[in-house]
Structure 1
């Protein structure tokens, strides 16, 4: 099979092709410039929104009720192996018993609360000392 002679484009065809490509390149440049502006605007918006999201009651003057998405992490406490509250052997902070009492009242039941049998002083198995402080009523 004989080869067809190759046809080369004319100068006018090449010039028209270059003009079309130049127009396409210019349109692409305009599109790229618009997209870069959009990216810059959206990047600034993301930075502002992340700044707002990072604010909570722990790092700003906002009230705790304004914490919307996540609660701030609790500070991790170091486990010392001790239970909460007063430790065994620590001094107490309650009111101490007074040495001289103003009044002493003995509360001795007449009958047993379970069987109803009459009780005497000989049936006593001990006593418990308690101290009550009455506060005066305010006028």
Structure 2
């Protein structure tokens, strides 16, 4: 380097003064930023404390807790609903000719001719009746009935 490229002593003094001013300004900004960070952390801690409050750990009424669905204490057994696969049994279906018939003793009036079995207790097949819903709307109530 030649001497003409180097800054003079006066230029260096001015440059140092300028850099010292910038350093002082940066330190002031840093101090302000640190104070703001401290303030925000304190506010955050207070809000977290308030958020954690409920009727159990403060004097707040339980109505201010809001709805929290209670968790069930029951543990899953791992089994599914119904009978185990492969277990005997199941639904008993009505058949035309049962292997065993056990009915209550006959009930009828002594003067009434006819079968010995009470027709109310006798097994019978019921065909599905046609169902036509009818809805009658009134200002007092809603009535739902069956009709043709």
Q: State the TM-score, normalizing by the size of structure 1.
A: 0.48
More helix by share: 1
Q: Which has the higher strand share?
A: 2
Q: TM-score, normalising length from structure 2?
A: 0.45
